[in-house]
Structures are given as structure tokens and as C-alpha cells.
Amino acid sequence: MQWLHPAAFNAGEFFHGAFEVVTDQTGVILFLLTEQDLDYLADFTVVHTGDNPMLKAQVAVIAGRTRASFDFGQRPPEYIDGLIRHVWCACFSASHLSADEATALADEMAALCPLVLVSEGARGAQLVRDGTRYRAVPHASSVTDSLGAGDSLIGGVLSGLITGSSPQDAMTSGTRLAARTISHFGAFGYGFDVASQPPASWVAGGVRA
């Protein structure tokens, strides 16, 4: 990895991890995968990434070693067009779109990619594979913190697919995992006093704040 035009900010809460991207060409850290890295990735059934590690330029190289999954989020068409032909699973966030618009997005991308996963927030999610659409409703009864819901959905669906689950079962696993994720506090934006409100996992493990 290397530094690329790093920028300074006074607000520590700006960052969402070590690999925050400030602009298309300005990031905190840029990954440059070596041959050793690529050999390591080749041992995995699928490698999932997105734009935060700024691996866009190396997606084609990754796809030459193993199947690549990419989280496009809400990226514009000009960003998607150069990458999607290298991707085995293309993931999109469409909670800001209407149900019909989300379906149209899924169909358009499915013409370019073997698998398309579209998260629709409170409406659930849909997966298009080989021309067949699979839908899953959300399983959350309450929302504590939505941070990580999309990542959990993607992880649950991908792990299900590569371990032999049917697409519908994989979708159910993904939405259930997302429901678990949003049922507790995430890492950012919801500070609380750990001394008076220790996480249940800490209490169970005998950890004190």
C-alpha cells in the first residue's frame, strides 16, 4: 500500500475506517496489490471489495485470479461501465430509488454481470441470477443502527452461494444477518457510556469498561 495525496482533517469522526476515499484521486490509503497478494487471493472462491480501498484499477487483475464481487453502492453509470464486465457479483444500494427503479437497475446490470444484488433498505433486497429474480424481505423488528447492514447482506448472500445454498436461501441468510447487524450499535455516530451500558458480549465475557 502507499499514500496518495493525503489530506488533513480536524474532525476525527470524518473517517469511516482506514481506507476512506476523499475524492476519486485523493484517499487516505491506496492499496497496490503485489503478485504475492494476488497469489494469496487466488486461493479464495470469491473476493469482495469496493471503492474505499481504491482497488478500482486492479479489479480486472483480481478477476483474472478468482471471482470478484464489487460493491458499487450508488455510483454513477460512468463509474460502473468500466468495471462491471470484470465482476462476478455486482452489488448496489437502491434504498433511495422506487421499487420499480430498483428492479430496472437490477435488470440493466444483470445484462452485464452474472450476479446482481440490489439492497432496497426497508423493502428488502433482490438478486438476479441467470435471468431469475429472487427477493427477500427484511427480517428486522427494530433498528438500532443501520451501519453495516449492506455489508452484512452481501456477506451473507455470497457465503451462502459459494457454499452451495440456493439463491433464495442465500438471500434469506443475507437479510437475516443484516437484521442482526442493525439490532445493535455500530462503530460510528451512536456514542454511549460503556461503563453504564456495557455491550452484552462484554458482560457475558466478564469484560469491564
- pLDDT tens for 44-60 read 999 999 876 668 889 99
Closest CA to 54 of 17, 3, 19, 15: 19
pLDDT given at position 69: 96
Predicted confidence (pLDDT) at residue 18 exceeds the cutoff of 90: no
Q: What is the mean pLDDT of residues 14-42?
A: 66
Tell me whether residue 80 is in a domain. no
Tell me whether residue 36 is in a domain. no
pLDDT confidence of 2, banded at 50, 70, 90?
Answer: very low
Maximum Cα–Cα distance for the chain, whole Å?
Answer: 53
Distance (Å, rounded) from C-alpha 91 to C-alpha 152? 12
How many other CB atoms sit within 10 Å of the CB of residue 142? 7
pLDDT given at position 122: 86
Q: Which amino acid, residue 209?
A: A
pLDDT confidence of 162, banded at 50, 70, 90?
Answer: very high
Comparing 45 with 28, which gets the higher pLDDT?
45
Tell me whether residue 164 is in a domain. yes
Domain count of the fold of the chain = 1
Q: Which residue has the cell 461503563?
A: 195
Tell me whether residue 142 is in a domain. yes
pLDDT given at position 207: 59
pLDDT given at position 110: 96
Tell me whether residue 102 is in a domain. yes
Tell me whether residue 39 is in a domain. no
Tell me whether residue 2 is in a domain. no
CATH number at residue 169: 3.40.1190.20
pLDDT given at position 11: 42
Tell me whether residue 103 is in a domain. yes
How many other CB atoms sit within 10 Å of the CB of residue 141? 7
Instruction: Report pTM.
Output: 0.75
* 70 exposure class (CB count in 10 Å sphere: 0-12, 13-18, 19+): buried
pLDDT given at position 56: 84
What is the layout of strands, in order, in the sheet containing 46-50? 46-50, 67-73, 89-93, 115-119, 125-129, 132-136
Distance (Å, rounded) from C-alpha 20 to C-alpha 66? 25
Predicted confidence (pLDDT) at residue 206 exceeds the cutoff of 90: no
pLDDT given at position 10: 42
Summarize pLDDT for 80-136 with one digit per residue, the tens: 998 999 999 999 999 999 999 999 999 999 999 999 999 998 899 999 999 999 999
Q: Which domain holds residue 99?
A: 88-205
Q: What is the mean pLDDT of residues 171-181?
A: 90
